[in-house]
């Protein structure tokens, strides 16, 4: 029986785990001094840049190519604070940020969705009954824009690519999950599988064009049901809220699982995966425990929480049109103390929360805590595992199954 590529990946992981008695971990860690040496060697005599791909959570608002028309671009509110990509750049001491991420524009009268991994996957998933929708630059387009820009810059400056050390950040998934969750679970899972495959296919292309292994930071998506926009549904349609919550939680977990499984065996660079959900959940729990005057076994709740409000965003919720679709709040007034809110608006977190993510990403890079270090250092062993699989050595291994929440 011919098995899927996804199952082959999972089986290979399990075989190698058996061969090395459990020495295969998601967080393969080398001596931190090795990472410092690598950084010094890679960056010696060169400039350092952070190349950013993604959506609203990563977009700094300064573009190398194809900036949006001014009338449709959002002015950066100082109260929003720095994004995690900007924090990471400072922590790494980089010289510049080359931003190719895109945020939702404002003042558009047509339906629009945020940046996805691949708009073609969305088009295929919504082929039946789709209304006219504008999609922002997806990851595939952003990568092509970067490659064209990088090639042109190299010609103009006369520099060689290897003289400029690059760290790439790739953060997609929030809008993908948001859009695919409205379909059946099978349709959504299929779209997510294709999206993760496409994400790493573009990383392969980046590594090929950069002439060797690359360094990539790919955050896991948070549980999107914590976002104020989703929580507002509780008061709009209580009957379907529970079912929708199960679907969104399941797909968020599935996205992160498949992302980690695929990154684990990727060989064309080092992948670092900050866990956003833990960061956000810890802040919510810290506030809740402190308000209840209790603490957990780790001491969470004892100290004054970082945020006073972990539910309401600093900027008012997006207004709802009569048909239930979100409309942009535009110039609605924001709170007086943005730093005391976990959420900036109904779909994004605040500056201090972004700092937690940027700091965590920097910690992983400094410590060389990549998810695929073992795969890269033991490529021959993985090839052996693949051979065993092809020869039937996996007949006693079972397929990974992500269980749905109780009652789903």
Phi, psi dihedral angles at 272 (to 5 degrees): -120, 130
* Pair (127, 229) in one structural domain: yes
Residue 160 to residue 187: CA distance in whole angstroms: 44
Tell me the residue range of the domain where 163 lies.
27-276+358-371
Identify the residue with better confidence: 382 or 80: 80
On the question of pLDDT at 389 being above 60, the answer is no
Cβ–Cβ under 8 Å, residues 122 and 201: no
Cβ atoms < 10 Å from Cβ of 324: 9
Mean pLDDT of the residues in the chain: 81
**Cβ of 47: how many Cβ atoms within 10 Å?**
13
Q: How confident is the model at residue 35 (pLDDT cuts 50, 70, 90)?
A: low
At 239-253, the pLDDT tens digits run 899 999 999 999 999
Give 278-302 pLDDT, tens digit per residue.
899 999 988 888 777 776 666 666 7
Residues 60 and 150 in one domain: yes
Check whether 317 has a pLDDT greater than 80. Answer: no
* 384: pLDDT strictly greater than 50: yes
Residue 52 lies inside a defined structural domain of this protein: yes
Q: Which residue has the tokens 């999950």?
A: 177
Domain identity same for 129 and 265: yes
Question: Please, are residues 287 and 295 in contact by the beta-carbon 8 Å criterion?
Answer: no
Q: What is the mean pLDDT of residues 211-223?
A: 97
Q: Which residues of 57-82 are buried (b: 16+ CB within 10 A; e: fewer)?
A: bbbbeebbeeebeeeeebeeeebbbb
Separation of alpha carbons 384 and 124, rounded Å: 37
Q: Using pLDDT thresholds of 50, 70 and 90, give the confidence band for residue 372.
A: very high
At residue 361, φ and ψ (nearest 5 deg) are -60, -40
Of 67-76, 123-132, 135-144, the range with the lowest mean pLDDT is 123-132
Backbone angles phi and psi of 18, in degrees to 5: -70, -40
Summarize the confidence of residues 371-400 as an average pLDDT. Answer: 60
Mark whether 14 and 129 lie in a shared domain: no
Cβ(1)–Cβ(367) below 8 Å: no
State mean pLDDT over 347-369: 97
| H or E, element range at 251 | helix 238-264
Cα distance between residue 51 and residue 34, in whole Å: 23
For residue 8, pLDDT over 90 is answered with: no
pLDDT of residue 245: 96
User: What residues pair up with 169 in beta bridges, in sequence order?
Assistant: 52, 217
Instruction: For residues 130-138, give the mean pLDDT.
Output: 69
Mapped onto helix, strand or coil, the DSSP state of residue 52 is strand
Q: Are residues 243 and 385 in the same domain?
A: no
- pLDDT value of position 287: 84
Q: What pTM was estimated for this model as a whole?
A: 0.81
Q: Return the higher-pLDDT residue of 129 and 58.
A: 58
Percent of the chain with pLDDT over 90: 53
Question: Which residues, 6+ apart, have CB-to-CB distance to 336 below 8 Å?
Answer: none
Residue 142 sits in the same domain as residue 178: yes
Is 301 part of any domain? no
Q: Is 298 exposed, middle or buried (0-12, 13-18, 19+ CB in 10 A)?
A: exposed
Q: Does 216 share its domain with 172? A: yes
**287 assigned to some structural domain:** no
pLDDT at res. 39: 54
| Cβ proximity of 87 and 204 under 8 Å | no
Residues 237, 96 within the same domain? yes
- What's the total number of domains in the chain? 2
User: Of the candidates 175, 174, 184, which has an alpha carbon nearest to the alpha carbon of residue 125?
Assistant: 184
Position with higher pLDDT, 272 vs 320: 272
Residue 337 lies in a domain: no
- pLDDT for the residue numbered 330: 47
Question: Given this model, what pLDDT does residue 316 score?
Answer: 84
In this model, does residue 408 exceed pLDDT 80?
A: no
Q: Which stretch of 65-74, 340-349, 389-398 has the lowest confidence by average pLDDT? A: 389-398
Residues 195 and 228 in one domain: yes
Residue 313 lies in a domain: no
Report the share of the chain in percent with pLDDT over 70.
Answer: 70
Q: For residue 404, is pLDDT > 70?
A: no
Locate all alpha helices (DSSP H) within 126-237, ordered by sequence: 139-157, 174-180, 185-210, 228-231
Residues 81 and 162 in one domain: yes
pLDDT (0 to 100) of residue 7 = 55
Per-residue confidence (pLDDT) for residue 255, from 0 to 100? 98
Q: Are strands 164-171 and 214-217 parallel, antiparallel or unpaired?
A: parallel
pLDDT band at 198 (very low <50, low <70, confident <90, very high): very high
For the residues 14-23, what does the mean pLDDT come to?
44
CA 217 – CA 194 distance, rounded (Å): 20
Is residue 52 located within the same domain as residue 178? yes
For residue 22, what pLDDT band results from cuts at 50, 70 and 90?
A: very low
Q: Go through the chain and tell me how many residues it has.
A: 408
Q: Residue 283 domain-assigned?
A: no
Residue 216 has pLDDT above 80, yes or no: yes
Asked whether residue 131 falls in the same domain as residue 3, the answer is no
In a domain, 404, yes or no: no
Residue 297: its pLDDT value, please? 62
Q: DSSP character for 245?
A: H
Q: At what angle do helices 238-264 and 5-19 cross, to 10 degrees?
A: 60
Strands (DSSP E) found in 162-311: 164-171, 214-217, 269-272
Beta strand 111-113 with 133-135 is: parallel
What pLDDT, on a 0 to 100 scale, did the predictor assign at position 397? Answer: 36
Count of other CB atoms within 10 angstroms of residue 305: 21
Helix (H) / strand (E) element for 370: namely strand 369-370
- What CATH number is associated with residue 152? 3.40.50
**Tokens 């949006």 correspond to what residue?**
68
88, part of any domain: yes
125 vs 168 pLDDT, higher one: 168
Whether the pLDDT of residue 24 is over 60: the answer is no
Please report the pLDDT score of residue 329 as a whole number.
46
Q: Where are the beta strands (DSSP E) in 32-141?
A: 47-54, 96-99, 111-113, 133-135
270 band by pLDDT with thresholds 50, 70 and 90:
very high
């Amino acid at each position: 029986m011919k098995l899927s590529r996804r199952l082959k990946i999972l089986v290979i992981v399990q075989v190698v785990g058996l061969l090395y008695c459990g020495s295969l971990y998601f967080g393969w860690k080398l001596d931190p001094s090795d990472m410092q040496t690598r950084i010094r060697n890679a960056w010696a005599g060169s400039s350092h840049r952070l190349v950013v791909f993604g959506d609203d959570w990563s977009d700094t608002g300064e573009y190398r190519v194809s900036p949006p028309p001014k009338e449709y671009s959002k002015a950066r509110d100082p109260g929003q604070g720095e994004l995690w990509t900007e924090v990471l750049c400072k922590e790494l001491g980089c010289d510049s940020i080359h931003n190719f991420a895109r945020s939702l524009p404002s003042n558009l009268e047509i339906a629009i969705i945020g940046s996805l991994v691949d708009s073609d996957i969305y088009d295929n998933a919504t082929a039946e009954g789709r209304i006219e929708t504008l999609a922002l630059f997806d990851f595939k387009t952003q990568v092509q824009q970067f490659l064209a820009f990088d090639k042109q810059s190299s010609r103009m400056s006369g520099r060689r690519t290897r003289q400029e050390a690059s760290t790439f950040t790739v953060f997609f998934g929030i809008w993908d999950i948001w859009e695919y969750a409205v379909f059946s679970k099978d349709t959504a899972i299929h779209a997510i599988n294709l999206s993760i495959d496409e994400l790493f296919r573009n990383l392969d292309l980046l590594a090929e064009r950069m002439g060797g292994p690359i360094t990539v930071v790919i955050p896991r998506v948070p549980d999107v049901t914590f976002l104020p926009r989703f929580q507002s549904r509780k008061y709009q349609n209580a009957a379907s809220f529970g079912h929708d919550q199960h679907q969104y939680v399941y797909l968020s977990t599935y996205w992160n699982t498949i992302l980690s499984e695929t990154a684990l065996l990727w060989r064309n660079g080092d992948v670092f995966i900050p866990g956003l959900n833990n960061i956000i959940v810890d802040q919510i729990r810290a506030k809740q425990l402190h308000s209840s005057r209790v603490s957990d076994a780790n001491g969470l709740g004892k100290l004054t929480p970082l945020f006073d409000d972990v539910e309401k965003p600093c900027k008012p919720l997006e207004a709802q049109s009569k048909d239930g679709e979100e409309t942009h709040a535009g110039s609605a007034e924001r709170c007086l103390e943005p730093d005391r809110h976990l959420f900036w608006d109904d779909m994004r977190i605040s500056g201090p929360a972004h700092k937690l993510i940027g700091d965590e990403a920097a910690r992983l890079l400094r410590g060389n805590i990549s998810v695929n270090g073992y795969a890269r250092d033991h490529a021959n062993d993985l090839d052996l595992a693949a051979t065993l699989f092809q020869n039937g050595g996996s007949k006693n291994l079972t397929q990974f199954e992500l269980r749905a929440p109780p009652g789903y």
